[in-house]
Amino acid sequence: MKKFIFLFLISSLLFTSCKEEESNGPIQAVEPPETRKVSDYHKQYLKEISYIKTRADSSSTENMIKLDGGEYLMGGKSEEAKQNELPVHKVEIKPIYVDKTEVTNAEFAQFVEATGYVTTAERSFELNGKTYEPGALVFDPYNPEWWWKFVKGANWQHPQGPDSSIEGKENYPVVQVSWYDAMAYAKWAGKRLPTEAEFEYFNSAGRDSLTYHWGNDFDIAAQHANFYQGEFPKKNTGEDNFEKIAPVKSFPANDFGLYETTGNVWEWCLDTYHPDAYSRTSEMKDGYFKHYYNMEQEKVIRGGSFLCAESYCSGYRLSARMSSVPDTGLEHTGFRCVKDI
C-alpha cells in the first residue's frame, strides 16, 4: 500500500513512505492494497505507533524553546500568496515548547536503537501481487519527465541510495522519514508534531507582517536560509554555501531562537492537508483537523527545503503551504517536535 501512494506521488508531485496486549514493539506487516483500504492502512500505522513506549526522560525540555503563544494573523499577506494560503485569519496559539532544531540523524538513531522501529522506507511492499524491495524517492534533476525516482535501498541511513551514508553527518536533519515515522519518534520522545498554525507562528517568531522569517528583503535570503539559488533544477550556484542539505545550526536562529525553520528540509506538521483549510476552520478542533484521513492521505509540510527556488517554488515564504502523502520518504523532508505545557 505504501508504494501505491508512492506511485501516486511520483505522478503528481512536481516539487516534492503477537497479541496486541503482549506487543512491546512495532507491527511490521501491512496488508497490500488489494485487501486493505487506504483508511484501514492508515489506522494500522497509528495502531503500531500506539505500541511505542515513551522514553523515561520524556519530561525533559532540553534543547527546546518555551513560547508563550498568543494571537497570530495566519495566511498569505504578500503578492506571492497562493489561493491555498487564503483567507488571512486569526488563530490562537497556546504556550508550547519547540525543538530548537530539526530532529537530527543522531537523535533519530537513538529512537531506532531504543524501540527497534523500522521506517516505512525500510519495509518491502506488495503491488498488484508483486513484491518490491524497500526504498524511497530521490531527486534526479537530469530526468526531464520525473524529477523524483524511486531508489531501492534509499532510507534514513542511506538518503540517496545504498551507496550513500549518514556517517559523519550525525548533526544533519534526518530525512527519508515518513509522517508515520515522525509521529512514531514524537510518541517515543513524549512530544508531538506541530500544527501548521503553530509552525507558521514560530517560524515567523510571532510577527504576522513578514514575508520571510528574517524580514521582507529577499536579497539577503542566502544569509538566512538553505535554498536553491541559480537555474532550477540544473545549476545551483550555492550562494548559501550548501548545494544540498546543511547541518543544523548552519544559519542564524530566528527571533525565537529556532534554527532552520525556513529552508534546509520541509518539516512534517500534524494536520491533514486541505487546499481550502482556512475556509473550513469550523471543522478544526484544538487548532488542527482531527480527521487524519482524506482520499490521498495528504499531510501538511512547511518551511521549504534546499530544493526550493525563487524561480520555481518559494516554499520558504512564511505562509507557503505544501503537502505530501504520509508514508512517503523524501531526501528533502524531515521534522521537528513540540511539547505541550
Contact 285, 292 (CB under 8 A): no
326-334 mean pLDDT = 93
At residue 167, does pLDDT exceed 90? Answer: yes
Please indicate whether residue 296 or residue 17 has the higher confidence score (pLDDT). Answer: 296
At residue 260, does pLDDT exceed 70? Answer: yes
Q: Which of 1-5, 165-169, 228-232, 313-317 has the lowest mean pLDDT?
A: 1-5
Q: How many residues does the chain have?
A: 341
Q: What is the DSSP string of 149-218?
A: EEEET-BTTBTTSTT---TT-TTSBP-S--HHHHHHHHHHHT-BPPPHHHHHHHHTTT-TT-SBTTBS-G
Contact 210, 318 (CB under 8 A): yes
Please indicate whether residue 94 or residue 25 has the higher confidence score (pLDDT). Answer: 94
pLDDT band at 195 (very low <50, low <70, confident <90, very high): very high
Contact 289, 283 (CB under 8 A): yes
Helix, strand or coil, per DSSP, at residue 10: helix
176-203 mean pLDDT = 97
Distance of alpha carbon 88 from alpha carbon 76, whole angstroms: 6
Supply the pLDDT for residue 107. 98
The CA–CA distances, whole Å, from 239 to 189, 243, 252, 306, 331 equal 36, 9, 16, 12, 21
Distance of alpha carbon 133 from alpha carbon 125, whole angstroms: 7
Supply the pLDDT for residue 55. 97
pLDDT band at 22 (very low <50, low <70, confident <90, very high): very low
36-61 mean pLDDT = 83
At residue 172, does pLDDT exceed 90? Answer: yes
Distance of alpha carbon 323 from alpha carbon 47, whole angstroms: 23
Supply the pLDDT for residue 162. 96
Distance of alpha carbon 230 from alpha carbon 63, whole angstroms: 34
pLDDT band at 280 (very low <50, low <70, confident <90, very high): confident
Supply the pLDDT for residue 294. 55
